[in-house]
Amino acid sequence: MDQHTLQSLFRVNEVEIIYRNKIPYQDRIQIKKSATAYEILLHAWDENRMELIEQFKILLLDQKNNCLGISDISTGGMNACLADPKVIFATALKGKATSIILAHNHPSGNLQPSDSDKALTRKLKEGGKLLDIAVLDHLIITPQNYISFADEGLMPG
């Protein structure tokens, strides 16, 4: 093997994981009910886009359901949004979350979950089990109201 080939074998990309939490533990909001999650999400959502395009976000929680942060996962079109499980769980792992709450809006204002909403929730719940990251709820929100999969008994077992 020549010197150039040998050197190229040792050239690889470096991956670095960084986590910064600027909010002290005692100042984190504890989420005990879906209404609290909805209020946090509503405050963080761009109100000018909520009734225009579909977006997907997650709330990152610690072991006591204190909110570590909110993350924008994806932005779609007027009636669909792709939520990639790899991005969701990479974000949760990087944020040291022990559980997450899923959320997306329906620009139409219809709060009824679609079959694809239910399938995604089931898929993410199963994926979370493998990573020890609990998927606690999935909220569909509008500016006026929300539906909680957990409150409605729609969370998969």
Is 90 exceeded by the pLDDT of residue 8? no
Range with lowest mean pLDDT among 11-25, 44-58, 115-129, 130-144:
11-25
Q: DSSP assignment, residue 70?
A: E
Q: How confident is the model at residue 74 (pLDDT cuts 50, 70, 90)?
A: very high
Domain annotation for the chain: domains and CATH numbers: 22-148 (3.40.140.10)
Q: What is the pLDDT of residue 105?
A: 97
How many Å apart are CA 156 and CA 135, to the nearest integer?
10
Q: What is the pLDDT of residue 44?
A: 92
Judging by DSSP bridges, how do beta strands 67-75 and 55-61 pair with one another? antiparallel
pTM of the entire predicted model: 0.88
Q: How confident is the model at residue 138 (pLDDT cuts 50, 70, 90)?
A: very high
Q: How confident is the model at residue 121 (pLDDT cuts 50, 70, 90)?
A: very high
Q: What is the pLDDT of residue 42?
A: 95
Q: Which two tokens stand for residue 138?
A: 């999935």
- Rounded to 5°, the CA angle 71-72-73 comes to 105
Q: What is the pLDDT of residue 7?
A: 66
Helices (H) and strands (E) in the chain, counts: 4, 5
How many Å apart are CA 157 and CA 149, to the nearest integer?
12
Q: How confident is the model at residue 143 (pLDDT cuts 50, 70, 90)?
A: very high
Is 80 exceeded by the pLDDT of residue 65? yes
What's the mean pLDDT in 131-157? 97
